[in-house]
Amino acid sequence: MNGSDTLTMNSDTILRRKHPALPAWPAWTWGLLLGAAFAVLVLSRKPDVLLHAELWGDDGWSWYPDAYNLGARSLLLPVNGYLNTFQRLVSLIVQPFPLTWVPTLFAGVALVVQVLPALFLVSARMAPLWPQTWARVLFALIFLVLPNEIELYVNLTNAPWNLTLLAFLVLVSAPPVSRSGKVFDALVLLLSGLSGPFCLILLPVALLHVLEDRNRTNIWRAGLLCALALVQICCLLGTPHHGRSTAPLGAAPRMLARIISLEILLGAELGFYTISNIYSVPAWRYNALPIAVTAVGAALACLALWRGSSLLRKLAVFAGLVFASALASPQASLSDPQWPLMAQPPMGNRYYTIPMLAWVAVLITLAADRHRILRCIGMALLLVMLVWGIPHDWREPPMPRTDFIARASAFDAAPPGTRMEFPIHPPGLSPMVLVKRAP
């Protein structure tokens, strides 16, 4: 993410000097082919996620049954204290289809959302902000096959995490020059802002971007996020306890070091299967090793932030706010202290993906640095990720197949008033319950 000289220029000046006819998106044919290739790459890790799709968490607890029972009124129903517009819109759209199709349709939408940030990253929209094409392509590919990434993998419930990453890229990207590009930006920010609390995290990034470059596009983006943040704050204030877990945090500096070192730094470097083994190693029970790993990672991150681009610093702010919010109000347990659980793989896995991506950006920045020692450190750590972490984590953890399709087929043919339960993932969660309504 080097190129700080370029990043200090006004984005409009960059567009006029270097990209006088910069398109809002790659050519349609190129974009579709590249998107399809990215989708195949993601699916190669676990084809069953689409070929034998299952509902995940709130897919079966909230999104589909609420849309089935309440229709469009479900859009106004908060979960965990905030609106979840994207998932609810998808659930409303799939209502005309048989229930047997729903898991696959949900997974297909989640797959598209997972691919979009990588596709946007390698598009011309990001070129003025991150001129090194090789670095953007490498970052996009690592994002698609990121080690220690489980809960965000192709499921609708957690799709807003990928959607908010896309919204971040839209916020920091060069202004669109076409009407379709402006519509795309507005739609992404709108859906992300109304799908979880992420607009509250994106707003500081948008305001920093306005301070750096007060062009009309950056101002309206920040204004839109302000309005969306106000909507979500009203929802949070109107929900007792915000629907969040009231379990104690169990916060302590040593627990913070354990979470950062194992789940983020070593998780990105070595992958889920390896850190699961490290967690059971006797030496890891003592605090010295996690603290040392955290200290080294923090030192490298500070060096990269000091020598890197403003884009890296904005990503660090974004990832830091995501991580701080997760630590302040996690949903790791409803009864037990939460930080100790979050230090155990794979608990709270979704909270670590964006911080891990920030760590990847740190390594790419160091690998491109002019200083030979920093460049060697960055390249060595990237090499560990590429030759160990990614290959060993290529296969996503398998999930048992359920009899959802058989039950859904029976439900589709059942008379009105029939009550049925449907299994959902991860295993052990409460089932989805539907009562057949009259046509």
Residue bearing tokens 């359920």: 402
Residue 215: pLDDT band with limits 50, 70, 90: confident
Q: Do 391 and 434 sit in the same domain of this protein?
A: no
Q: What pLDDT does 238 receive?
A: 82
Percent of the chain with pLDDT over 70: 93
Q: Do 171 and 94 sit in the same domain of this protein?
A: yes
pLDDT over 60 (residue 20): no
Of 23-37, 96-110, 231-245, 250-264, least confident by mean pLDDT is 23-37
Q: Residue 361, Cα to own-chain centre: how many angstroms?
A: 15
Full residue range of the structural domain in which residue 356 is found: 247-398
Mean pLDDT, range 300-304, rounded to an integer:
98
Of 157-161, 176-180, 368-372, least confident by mean pLDDT is 176-180
Mean pLDDT computed over every residue of the chain: 91
Q: What angle do CA 127, 128, 133 make, to 5 degrees?
A: 30
Scanning 330-371, the segments in alpha helix (DSSP H) are 338-342, 353-367
Q: Do 321 and 426 sit in the same domain of this protein?
A: no
User: From CA 116, how far away is CA 299, in angstroms rounded?
Assistant: 32
Mean pLDDT, range 306-325, rounded to an integer:
96
Residue 247: pLDDT band with limits 50, 70, 90: confident
Q: What pLDDT does 334 receive?
A: 80
Q: Do 263 and 323 sit in the same domain of this protein?
A: yes
186: enclosing H helix or E strand: helix 179-193
Residue 15: pLDDT band with limits 50, 70, 90: very low
Mean pLDDT, range 241-258, rounded to an integer:
86
Q: What pLDDT does 214 receive?
A: 85
Residues 6+ apart with CB under 8 A from 53: 103, 104, 106, 107
Question: Which tens digit of pLDDT belongs to each residue from 346-386?
Answer: 888 999 999 999 999 999 999 999 999 999 999 999 999 99
Q: Do 223 and 289 sit in the same domain of this protein?
A: no
Annotate 372-422 with DSSP letters as a single string: HHHHHHHHHHHHHIIIIIHHHT-SPPP----SHHHHHHHHHHSPTT-EEEE
Domain count, the chain: 2
Q: Do 304 and 406 sit in the same domain of this protein?
A: no
Neighbours of 256 (CB within 10 A): 18
The dihedrals phi and psi of 355, each to the nearest 5 degrees, come to -60, -35
User: 367, 383, 398: which is the final residue of a domain?
Assistant: 398
Mean pLDDT, range 190-205, rounded to an integer:
95
Question: Which tens digit of pLDDT belongs to each residue from 70-121?
Answer: 999 999 999 988 999 999 999 999 999 999 999 999 999 999 999 999 999 9
Mean pLDDT, range 168-173, rounded to an integer:
95
Q: What pLDDT does 27 receive?
A: 61
Q: Do 216 and 310 sit in the same domain of this protein?
A: no
Residue 265's identity, in one-letter code, is: L
Q: Do 240 and 252 sit in the same domain of this protein?
A: no
Q: What pLDDT does 245 receive?
A: 77
Q: What pLDDT does 13 receive?
A: 45
C-beta separation of 248 from 326 below 8 A: no
Q: Do 344 and 405 sit in the same domain of this protein?
A: no
Residue 207: CA count within 13 A, CB half-sphere? 10
Q: Do 300 and 276 sit in the same domain of this protein?
A: yes
Q: Do 321 and 378 sit in the same domain of this protein?
A: yes
Instruction: Select from 154, 184, 155 the least CA-distant residue to 38.
Output: 154
pLDDT over 70 (residue 242): no
Residue 333: pLDDT band with limits 50, 70, 90: confident
pLDDT over 60 (residue 192): yes
Q: What pLDDT does 241 receive?
A: 61
Q: Do 269 and 217 sit in the same domain of this protein?
A: no
Mean pLDDT, range 237-263, rounded to an integer:
87
